[in-house]
Structure 1
Amino acid sequence: AAMDLLVPGVGEIIGGSQREERLDILEDTILRLGMDLKEYEWYNDLRRYGSVKHCGFGLGFERALMYMTGMTNIRDVIPYPRTPKSADF
């Protein structure tokens, strides 16, 4: 399962997904895609010997700031802006 939080005028603020924890589904998918099951044995072992359901998400900090402040350009809310070739070393 996956999700995205989209905001008009800003774009994607949050993206997340749930990992597949069912070993039989993982192995079937690997075989269906023509991949070598042995190459993923280390990963399958993580599921075989005690995995739990887990999810994750990422928050686009600058995009959330754009939404909260009403700014239209992401460059106006970047906390540490990058300007290539402008630093004196």
Structure 2
Amino acid sequence: MDLLARGVGEIIGGSQREERLERLLGRMEELGLKEEDYSWYVDMRRYGGTRHAGFGLGFERFIMYVTGMSNIRDVIPYPRTVGTAEF
């Protein structure tokens, strides 16, 4: 699911994990994924997985929506520009 705001775009994106083992294995086969490469994940579904979901909030986009700013660069608390971080 996504929460979209006019003039801003996606503020929140979320999804629910597939908990049905048969469906998960079928989809992996469709995509050509090897079960052994994902054995740790498949085992979580095989031995007691539960339904779960999550979401991510685009904080800068949320602030942009709340403040009515039209450019995301105006609401980023720590501007990111290429080549300015020295390690």
The two structures have a TM-score, normalised by structure 1, of 0.85
Tell me what 2:18 maps to: 20
Number of equivalences: 87
CA RMSD of aligned residues (A): 2.1
Runs of 5+ consecutive residues of structure 2 not aligned to the other structure: none
Runs of 5+ consecutive residues of structure 1 not aligned to the other structure: none
Tell me what 1:36 maps to: 34
Tell me what 1:70 maps to: 68
Tell me, what secondary structure is at the counterpart of 1:16?
strand
Deviations 1:22-66 (A, max 9, x none): 111111112223332222222110111111101010000000001
Tell me, what secondary structure is at the counterpart of 1:51?
coil
Equivalence map 1:45-60=2 (5 Å): 45-60=43-58
1:4 aligns with 2:2: yes
The two structures have a TM-score, normalised by structure 2, of 0.86
What is the rounded CA distance, in whole Å, between the counterparts of 1:48 and 1:39 in structure 2?
A: 15
